[in-house]
């Protein structure tokens, strides 16, 4: 899964207001060579990413939120 790519696209929309570009890029995620990895809806909710996160981010919760905003 492309966690950092998903968050990058979400930040484009959320911080910079570039929702159109962010949603278009998210729609292409995993289908183009330069943006590999699955979208956030592929998360199995196992929590392994949160165990590894040095910033202690609630990744599963944030991924779900990002996917909801980007996939619409």
Identify the pLDDT of residue 72: 84
Question: pLDDT category, 1, cuts 50, 70, 90?
Answer: confident
Q: How far apart are CA 31 and CA 47, in angstroms?
A: 25
pTM above 0.85, yes or no: yes
Domain ranges of the chain: 3-70
Q: Are 3 and 50 spatial neighbours (Cβ–Cβ below 8 Å)?
A: no
Identify the pLDDT of residue 39: 94
Each residue's pLDDT tens digit, 43-70: 999 999 999 999 999 999 999 999 999 9
Look at residue 20 and tell me whether its pLDDT is greater than 90: yes
Task: Count the alpha carbons within 13 Å of 72 in the hemisphere toward its beta carbon.
Answer: 8
Calculate what percentage of the chain has a pLDDT beyond 90.
Answer: 94
């Amino acid at each position: 899964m492309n966690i950092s790519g998903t968050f990058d696209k979400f930040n484009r929309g959320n911080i910079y207001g570039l929702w159109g570009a962010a949603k278009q890029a998210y729609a292409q995620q995993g289908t183009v060579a330069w943006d590999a990895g699955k979208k956030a809806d592929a998360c199995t909710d196992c929590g392994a990413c949160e165990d590894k996160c040095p910033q202690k981010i609630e990744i599963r919760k944030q991924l779900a939120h990002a996917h909801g905003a980007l996939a619409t």
